Amino acid sequence: PVWNYDHLYTNIKDDIVSADLAAVNQECIFVANHSNVSAYPSFGSPTEIGDALVNAGFDIVEHATNHAFDKGTSAINETLDYWKSNHPDIKVLGIHDSQESADTITTVTCKDITFSLLNYTSTINGEEYDAIPSYMIDFLRSEKVTADVAKAKEAGDMVIAFLHTGEEYSTEPNQDQKNFLQLLLSQGVDIAICSHSHVLQNYETLTDDQGNEMLVYYSLGNFISTQKQPECLLGGMADIMITRDPQTSELSISDSQLIPLVTHYNYEKNEYSVYKLEDYSEELAGEHSVHEETSEPFTLESLKQQFNNVLAQQYTYD
């Protein structure tokens, strides 16, 4: 096979490239040896997936997911070696090869704004926590998060937290997730973007009585996948505009949107790609191989309806 995956992102590359900063959650860990590539339930992606992410225009790659330890410590080291050797400019989050790296807040500066970047996962599959060096994966734990956020606020102008948390296949955040979001809000995090549920959820700005504000995307669903459930084939991109006030120099989030995406796959034509919903067609929906997997509706209309339902959702906090 040709180990090139640029086709996955062809249809949305313009959007990714045009962003000043683009971040992506890389669900599966990389493996250097092609014979170690594997699918469900223990995932290993070829490093060429990383090349495709870079070619598509991503600047930040999050690796703290429940699959980060699917291939043990060796694959985490292979992944970090790959990034350092091939794409040293990419900001890699959530996994580390040393305590020093784990203790250092990753920052990225763009247009005179420095962002502190945090990335955590609630769990790992297999729960082999004892087998993992304590520095290797960033886990969503209150004590660690509180310490990290304090450092992150000193290191940058704005703090963005990427969380791999929530309940798989749920259309709404669970209580654990809400608790952590409240903690981040109270600590002064500016933006929290969540993944893990594989289905799209809504977004909103949370506030507290201390005057804190935090933009939250509860789940961006899947970016690209070959999952078999129609509801898992609608994902989203967070599109966020940050503005600096010329008089006061204060930073604010002046606009935020959720752009719906569709994962498209067609076994027969060997097509695998992601489209913006506005660019997707009834013809493509009809050719989608999900129809071989389920009799549930998958049409342009059903996708639009699902997205409208997501935007209508409201989540309550106790």
Q: DSSP assignment, residue 171? A: S
Closest CA to 306 of 227, 219, 208, 233: 233
pLDDT of 127 reads 74
Distance from C-alpha of 22 to C-alpha of 63, rounded to nearest angstrom: 15
Q: Look up residue 234 and give its amino acid.
A: L
Q: pTM score > 0.95 for this model?
A: yes
Determine the pLDDT at residue 312. Answer: 98
Q: Which residues contact 293 (CB under 8 A, 6 or more apart)?
A: 228
Mean pLDDT, the chain, integer: 97
* 267-315: pLDDT as tens digits: 999 999 999 999 999 999 999 999 999 999 999 999 999 999 999 999 9
> For residue 214, what pLDDT is reported?
98
Please compute the mean of the pLDDT values over residues 164-188 and round it to a whole number. Answer: 97
The pLDDT score that the predictor gives to residue 2 is 80
pLDDT in tens, 26-51: 999 999 999 999 999 999 999 999 99
Instruction: Indicate whether 99 pLDDT > 90.
Output: yes
pLDDT band at 126 (very low <50, low <70, confident <90, very high): confident
Q: Which two tokens stand for residue 254?
A: 């002046």
Q: What is the pLDDT of residue 1?
A: 61
Residue of 220, 213, 223 lying closest to 238 (CA atoms): 220
pLDDT above 70 as % of the chain: 100
Cis peptide before 173 (omega within 30 of 0): no
